[in-house]
Amino acid sequence: MSQVFSEETHRNMLARIPHCTGRQISDWLRTVDEGPALFRFEEKVSWLRHEHNLAYGHAKAIVHEYDLRRAARKLL
């Protein structure tokens, strides 16, 4: 079962990702965008974890941010 992060926890997690991974959030979002055409949230998280050796929380935060930004683009 996946955890549900608060907005504050999500933002804090995103802020730590560059330090923990050595890559900026924009790089990770591009990686997800250019990665395999996975539809389910947990599939994307699992792919990031296994392909890029990320912690579950970091992978989840990246995919959540990717989905938020994708949804915002659709509204424009």
**pLDDT confidence of residue 64:** 94
Q: What is the mean pLDDT of residues 16-41?
A: 96
Q: Which helix (H) or strand (E) holds 68?
A: helix 56-75
* Nearest by Cα to 65 from 21, 22, 26: 26
Q: What is the mean pLDDT of residues 15-33?
A: 97
Radius of gyration of the chain (CA): 12
Q: Is the pLDDT of residue 27 over 50?
A: yes
**pLDDT confidence of residue 74:** 79
* Nearest by Cα to 62 from 36, 1, 76, 21: 21
Task: Band the pLDDT of 76: cuts 50, 70, 90.
Answer: low
Q: Is the pLDDT of residue 1 over 60?
A: no
Between 1 and 41, the more confident residue is: 41
